[in-house]
A and B are shown apart, each in its own frame.
Chain A
């Protein structure tokens, strides 16, 4: 089911193709679009005019041409259901913060840098052509980070420099030039970057047949940049290529994954095994093997980490503009005076439960971390009351230190778990389902004490077990092959685990919701840190505020966030409890291009 009204914000230097890729899928699934474009580029206005002439549906595409200060205004309009933002990192962060808690969803596509990995088994001349495609042409969106294996460093640099000498720059419409200009702002940005790089001791090489007027900037190759300098971590602007050496493939992966951005990358190697290993290991949204910059509307293109997690193209691009049918529209749960600095820091002051009367129910439950129960750091437990007000048991009160320990344990377990083949993961989920069934009567009686009827409680336990099995079976389906027009060779759409997931469970359906969130996360190879429901309805308000806080806090390193904003979710219904939306959220897509030919 389509989302509704989309607000689209385009960066100052966007290409025609990018604009079409964002507008057309939205229109195709039935959403209407309001686009905010910088005043220097009138092309979207023309597109809107054409769409307005199309007859009975005026207003499906609306374009406002205005400065960047209008962005928060557009984003916080009450009618907009989703904001798609493409542009620079800091603006994306600021937008994430302002939109926390608002009813609009946010999709971010940030940054323009890409990466090229040149190994010593590559065809160096063709890789140099790949560098030209990536950085010194009108097809590439931004600069390039170039990693060259040390044994071919000299050869590669020589060929690069010679190739740069043959590049031609000029006005974009002249068919015989390789690259044009991108405006005064881009020119200033790159001049600042190059000056800073030079002052930190890098070597800068520029060449090419370039007019010397202002917005034209020659192709630039920066090498010997000290790895500790700020330029080495900053995003590389167009048309700069920053080259650094590496010794082994493992080092290359560490260097490549060490940048906070994760947009797109290419691997140049004629050894299939090495190319695939690097391709699978890079944490980016798109990997090309022995090619760079290939794009197609049927292949999902997006990023991860600081490149934002919105997609265009392929099925993922359509899912951006859809939501599962039957789910209500998102509500705004904005609380204007939520103090972000002190949220969640106060320790709830619960009075110690009065002197115990009668037999003590059971030893207090600890925190389950790293495979066993352990006592919480604060050494305090909280009493849990059942529906009739009697004492049901004690659970441990976890704190920040316990969370850190749990996250660390999850990180350590992640490589092993993600590396398990799907059959092993499925086997574990089935074993969990079997264990659940064995303890069915205990679980049902506990639920009953919380106020659920016996029959409903038993049904809930059974459904939980069934869900676990279903997700175990689905662990086998791991991505598929796309056929792309004009390309000889497959494009793989891989579904990779996200990593460590933090899950805070809702209060409704305490067992079923817990299981429904746990199962898909594990099935896709993630490790989880879960906070179960507090079994107290008074906390619903805090959960609502919690959604807003979580969305706000994710702006720090732009993690993908999925919050329910305090709405209840019908966990027993198939679409909401076990539908494809859960599967989508549990894993990350990566497109792997494999052009073939000898």
Chain B
């Protein structure tokens, strides 16, 4: 993973005059989905690329070491061997980007990945996931313990009450403290956009999170009623672009929750390419938090295998062409 975002000083003038117009953003979201579809053999390339962005996630109450082990194995071999061989992609090292688990299961995950001989990072959720309504002291301690256990990426949840009451300095301070507690681990800040009330709040929260030193901003925990939707993503991507214009730092983006079909994942890739450009289409700057998406991609690949036989050439050229 690339260098950390050191963050900047808090500058409230970056968010004071921001207004986001909801109906206009909705119209833009529809337009992107309609206009930038990917077809034929490029679709295969994009799907495999999408696999490399997945943070394979399991966040259930009934996780034990056995299903964590299966998860880690799946992370190392996401697509069936024979399918990859047919596409000439067997030896290209296609794995998911990371594995995401609860703090108590980090040890199991690290052990399973080491046994499989895989060096993908283990990401842990922390700070009172998913609601975040616990004392600050325990939240910080959770981060430290997860990092000690071997997690190299931490997904923290912000305190929504601070956003809803407009306490931006307090939010900045909290996330700064999370940053410090993470140490060398990468910090992903979950904004829980479904609970923030308006798109303007989403933009402001994104900016504060980036100013405070997040390496990634993430749309949602996956446990809210409304998770990752296109309008919210457009606002967050615009915030990332504005932060890049102001400071030169590239912050990553992760939508999570509600991305279940291969077609959805292609739409998400199109969105990031359209709003931010090709540089953001790498695992260091883009992740998809999903659990059932992988099986749907595998199904799509196996169904359409006969149509895709020019894949290696396309994949090597990268995904600049989309049509």
- A residues in contact (CB < 8 Å) with B: 120-123, 125-127, 129-130, 158, 166, 174-178, 268, 270, 290-291, 488-489, 595-598
The reply on B267 being an interface residue by CB < 8 A is no
B18-58 vs A: 1/0 string, CB under 8 Å? 01111111111000001111000000000000000000000
B308-323 vs A: 1/0 string, CB under 8 Å? 0000000000000011
Query: Judging by beta carbons under 8 Å apart, are A597 and B322 in contact?
Result: no
Query: Judging by beta carbons under 8 Å apart, are B37 and A121 in contact?
Result: no
* Chain A residues, Cβ within 8 Å of B24: 123, 126-127, 129-130, 290-291
A598 to B197, CA, bound (A): 9
Query: Judging by beta carbons under 8 Å apart, are A126 and B35 in contact?
Result: no
Q: Please, could you name 10 A-B residue pairs with CB atoms under 8 Å apart, sorted by A? A: A123-B20, A129-B24, A130-B24, A175-B35, A176-B35, A176-B37, A178-B35, A291-B23, A595-B23, A597-B26
Shortest distance from the beta carbon of B239 to any chain A beta carbon, whole Å: 10
- B residues in contact (CB < 8 Å) with A: 17, 19-28, 34-37, 198-199, 238, 245, 274, 322-323
* Residue of A whose beta carbon sits closest to that of B274: A166
A93 to B131, CA, bound (A): 68
Query: Judging by beta carbons under 8 Å apart, are B28 and A126 in contact?
Result: yes
* Chain A residues, Cβ within 8 Å of B274: 166
* Chain B residues, Cβ within 8 Å of A166: 274
Describe B's contact surface by its main secondary structure: helix
Q: Of B19, B20, B274, which is in contact with the most chain A CB atoms at under 10 Å from its CB?
A: B19
* Chain A residues, Cβ within 8 Å of B27: 129, 291
A175 to B22, CA, bound (A): 26
Could you count the A-B residue pairs with CB atoms below 8 Å apart for me: how many are there? 53
A158 to B241, CA, bound (A): 12
* Chain B residues, Cβ within 8 Å of A158: 245
* Chain B residues, Cβ within 8 Å of A489: 23
Describe A's contact surface by its main secondary structure: loop
Shortest distance from the beta carbon of A223 to any chain B beta carbon, whole Å: 20
* Chain B residues, Cβ within 8 Å of A598: 22, 198-199
Query: Judging by beta carbons under 8 Å apart, are B19 and A270 in contact?
Result: yes
* Residue of B whose beta carbon sits closest to that of A130: B24
* Chain A residues, Cβ within 8 Å of B17: 120-121
* Residue of A whose beta carbon sits closest to that of B273: A166
- Taking a contact as CB atoms closer than 8 A, the residue among B25, B26, B36 that contacts A176 in the complex is B36
A123 to B26, CA, bound (A): 13
A120 to B245, CA, bound (A): 20
Query: Judging by beta carbons under 8 Å apart, are B23 and A597 in contact?
Result: yes
Query: Judging by beta carbons under 8 Å apart, are A125 and B26 in contact?
Result: no
* Chain A residues, Cβ within 8 Å of B28: 126, 129
Shortest distance from the beta carbon of A292 to any chain B beta carbon, whole Å: 9
Given A129-B27, A129-B28, A597-B26, decide whether A176 and B21 contact each other with a Cβ distance below 8 A: no
| 4 tightest Cβ-Cβ pairs between the two chains A and B | A126-B24, A123-B21, A270-B19, A597-B22
A176 to B163, CA, bound (A): 38
* Chain A residues, Cβ within 8 Å of B198: 598
Shortest distance from the beta carbon of B130 to any chain A beta carbon, whole Å: 25
- Taking a contact as CB atoms closer than 8 A, the residue among B20, B23, B25 that contacts A488 in the complex is B23
A268 to B21, CA, bound (A): 9
- Taking a contact as CB atoms closer than 8 A, the residue among B19, B36, B322, B323 that contacts A123 in the complex is B19
A122 to B24, CA, bound (A): 11
Given A123-B19, A270-B19, A597-B26: 12 more A-B contacts, CB < 8 Å: A123-B21, A123-B24, A125-B20, A125-B238, A126-B24, A129-B24, A129-B28, A130-B24, A158-B245, A177-B35, A268-B21, A291-B24
Shortest distance from the beta carbon of A173 to any chain B beta carbon, whole Å: 13
Query: Judging by beta carbons under 8 Å apart, are A270 and B37 in contact?
Result: no
Query: Judging by beta carbons under 8 Å apart, are B25 and A126 in contact?
Result: yes
Q: Of B27, B36, B198, which is in contact with the most chain A CB atoms at under 10 Å from its CB?
A: B27
* Chain B residues, Cβ within 8 Å of A597: 22-23, 26
* Chain B residues, Cβ within 8 Å of A120: 17
Query: Judging by beta carbons under 8 Å apart, are B23 and A596 in contact?
Result: yes
Query: Judging by beta carbons under 8 Å apart, are B37 and A175 in contact?
Result: yes
A489 to B24, CA, bound (A): 13
Shortest distance from the beta carbon of B206 to any chain A beta carbon, whole Å: 13
